[in-house]
């Protein structure tokens, strides 16, 4: 655990630096162009590597040393930021430069995130994975709350290049922490990579798909995550419209709701870190899914004059999402073969990333046609219904037991 927390501390600095960069670039694009299309394009470009290249990158994460992957990814992202600093100082920066930087940073993050997730299972004992996942959820919530106001404060007293330079400093801290820790390589499994060096990338990627397909609980979990992302992700993008058209609020009221979500993520992460969740992790996750759905759906039901109730419900939804997501990552880290985790995590990221533009493409016209509130209500009902229905699906409820049986079967096959 000491090794893990050294790495985790460095990554916390790096994530904060990246959040400042994102805020500064979004603000610059907003002031320079005033175009919602430009902002949406920057978001989609950043997602492309995760959606399109994720499964290929996952193979490389499983093949290569995960510590080196994270170091190279951190350095590469910092170099991209340094390039932007030069362009800003020279007064040459244009929106298309931001697109290219977002694409390059997206590639680095698509390597880095699954490598960190897969490395965590090599450093943290299984019984503590849920607590660590809760800690990560709390960190993400804290950054989502702190980064925007700190970014705004920094931009008020510093030029954009100086704010971007913070990311270079935090990346150096992350790399230094990684360099100080030895991360073991995973033991090869029968499912993972029989002689990966002599197989092509496509063959290893196909092995990853076969691994998933042979595990009904994991397939159901992936499908469930895709459906939930489809319904829930647009609720955050549609929140400004809900605030203006239903609650009659403005920027201040929107900030209350966004802050409530972030604080909820922190609170839920801390609670999960202290509690650890139920012994059967899937129950903790489904409890979180159900509470998140109830919170989001209720926001669509309350009258327009009850903005304070909406803030409270958004806090509940944020805390519930920490309870939902944390155990899911812990289940993956504890049950997926160590040398398959890069492929599995990137596939999850690809599906989740793809659901954002797909969900928005559907939710936008629906909200324009019948209003925003029905999307919140339907999203809440579907989410709660899926959490309840999952309790009666044996492959999903027994996902961890399936992993134990698969591991024992593999050991029996490998025994002389």
Q: 34 and 129 share a domain?
A: yes
Q: At what angle are helices 129-157 and 251-275 packed, to 10 degrees?
A: 150
Q: What is the average pLDDT across 126-155?
A: 78
Contact 224, 399 (CB under 8 A): no
Are 289 and 228 within 8 A, CB to CB?
yes
pLDDT above 90 as % of the chain: 22
Instruction: Decide if pLDDT at 72 tops 70.
Output: yes
Please indicate, yes or no, whether residues 28 and 160 belong to a single structural domain of this protein.
yes
- Mean pLDDT across 310-319: 93
pLDDT at residue 176 in the model: 93
Residue carrying structure tokens 């170099």: 79
Spatial CB neighbours of 95, under 8 Å, sequence gap ≥ 6: 29, 32, 33, 38, 42
User: Do residues 10 and 155 share a domain?
Assistant: yes
Least confident of 236-250, 259-273, 394-408: 394-408
| 409 band by pLDDT with thresholds 50, 70 and 90 | low
Q: Is 209 found in the same domain as 166?
A: no
Whether residue 223 is found in the same domain as residue 280: yes
> Which of 146, 181, 216 is at the close of a domain?
181
**192 touches 56 (CB < 8 A):** no
What DSSP letter does each residue of 309-343 carry, written as one string? Answer: HHHHHHHHHHHHHHHHHHHHHHHHHHHS-GGGHHH
Q: Bigger pLDDT: 180 or 250?
A: 180
231 with 353, same domain: the answer is yes
Average pLDDT over every residue of 366-375: 85
Distance separating alpha carbons of residues 122 and 117, to the nearest angstrom: 9
The per-residue pLDDT for 377 is 94
Comparing CA positions, the residue from 320, 219, 173, 345 lying closest to residue 260 is: 320
| pLDDT-based confidence at residue 390 (cuts at 50, 70, 90) | very high
Angle between helices 54-63 and 341-370 (to 10 degrees): 160
Regarding whether 128 and 213 lie in a shared domain, the answer is no
What local confidence, expressed as pLDDT, does residue 301 receive? 93
CATH number at residue 164: 1.20.1250.20
* CA dist., res. 245 & res. 37, Å (int): 21
49 part of a folded domain? yes
Q: Is residue 191 part of a domain?
A: no
Quick one: pLDDT at residue 362? Answer: 83
Residue 186 in domain: no
pLDDT value, residue 132: 80
Query: Are 108 and 243 within one domain?
Result: no
User: 196-229, pLDDT tens digit by residue?
Assistant: 455 677 777 788 778 878 788 888 888 888 898 8
pLDDT for residue 37 is more than 70: no
> What is the span of the domain harbouring residue 68?
1-181
pLDDT for residue 412: 47
Is 230 inside a domain boundary? yes
193 belongs to a structural domain: no
Output the pLDDT for position 404: 57
Domain final residue, candidates 123, 153, 181: 181
Q: Would 190 be classed as within a structural domain?
A: no
pLDDT for position 82 = 94
In the predicted model, what is the mean pLDDT of the chain? Answer: 82
pLDDT for position 62: 82
Same-domain pairing of 83 and 218 = no
CB neighbour class for 407 (10 Å; exposed up to 12, middle 13-18, buried from 19): middle
Question: What domain count does the chain have?
Answer: 2
Q: What radius of gyration do the chain's Cα atoms show?
A: 21
The pLDDT of residue 43 is 72
With respect to residue 229, please indicate whether it lies within any of the assigned structural domains: yes
Burial 321-358 (b: 16+ CB within 10 A, else e): bbbbbbbbbbbbbbbbbbbbbbbbbbbbbbbbbbbbbe
pLDDT > 70 in the chain, percent = 92
In a shared domain, residues 169 and 219: no
Residue 341: is its pLDDT beyond 50?
yes
Q: Residue 325 has what pLDDT? A: 83
Which of the residue ranges 119-123, 173-177, 328-332, 399-403 would you say has the lowest mean pLDDT? 399-403
- CA distances (Å), origin 179, targets 21, 135, 182, 202, 287: 24, 22, 8, 31, 39
Are 146 and 219 within one domain? no
> Does residue 98 sit in the same domain as residue 213?
no
In whole angstroms, give the CA distance from residue 303 to residue 217: 40
Task: Examine residue 189 and state whether it is found in any structural domain, yes or no.
Answer: no
């Amino acid at each position: 655990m000491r090794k893990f927390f050294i790495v985790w501390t460095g990554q916390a600095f790096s994530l904060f630096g990246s959040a400042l960069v994102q805020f500064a670039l979004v603000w610059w694009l907003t002031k320079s162009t005033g175009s919602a299309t430009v902002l949406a394009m920057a978001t989609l470009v950043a997602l492309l590597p995760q959606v399109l290249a994720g499964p290929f990158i996952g193979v490389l994460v499983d093949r290569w040393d995960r510590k080196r992957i994270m170091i190279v990814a951190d350095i590469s992202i910092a170099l991209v930021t340094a390039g932007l600093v030069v362009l800003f100082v020279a007064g040459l920066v244009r929106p298309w430069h931001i697109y290219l930087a977002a694409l390059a940073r997206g590639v680095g993050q698509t390597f880095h995130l699954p490598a960190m997730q897969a490395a965590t299972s090599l450093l943290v004992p299984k019984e503590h994975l849920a607590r660590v996942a809760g800690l990560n959820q709390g960190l993400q919530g804290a950054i989502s709350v702190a980064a925007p106001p700190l970014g705004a404060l920094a931009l008020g007293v510093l030029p954009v290049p100086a704010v971007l330079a913070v990311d270079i400093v935090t990346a150096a801290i992350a790399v230094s922490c990684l360099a100080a820790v030895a991360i073991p390589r995973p033991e090869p499994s029968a499912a993972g990579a029989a002689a990966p060096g002599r197989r092509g990338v496509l063959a290893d990627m196909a092995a990853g798909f076969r691994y998933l397909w042979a595990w009904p609980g994991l397939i159901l979990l992936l499908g469930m995550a895709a459906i939930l992302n489809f319904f829930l992700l647009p609720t955050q993008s549609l929140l400004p419209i809900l605030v203006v058209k239903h609650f009659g609020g403005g920027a201040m009221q929107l900030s209350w709701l966004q802050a409530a979500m972030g604080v909820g993520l922190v609170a839920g992460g801390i609670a999960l870190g202290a509690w650890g969740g139920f012994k059967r992790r899937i129950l903790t996750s489904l409890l979180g899914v159900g509470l998140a759905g109830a919170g989001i759906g209720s926001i669509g039901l309350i009258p327009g004059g009850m903005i304070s109730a909406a803030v409270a419900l958004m806090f509940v939804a944020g805390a519930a999402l920490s309870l939902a997501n944390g155990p899911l990552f812990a289940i993956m880290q504890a049950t997926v073969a160590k040398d398959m985790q890069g492929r599995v995590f990137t596939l999850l990221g690809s599906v989740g990333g793809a659901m954002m533009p797909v969900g928005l493409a559907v939710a936008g016209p629906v909200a324009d046609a019948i209003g925003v509130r029905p999307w919140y209500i339907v999203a809440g009902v579907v989410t709660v219904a899926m959490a309840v229905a999952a309790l009666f699906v044996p492959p999903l409820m027994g996902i961890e037991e399936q992993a134990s049986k698969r591991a024992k079967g593999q050991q029996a096959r490998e025994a002389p």
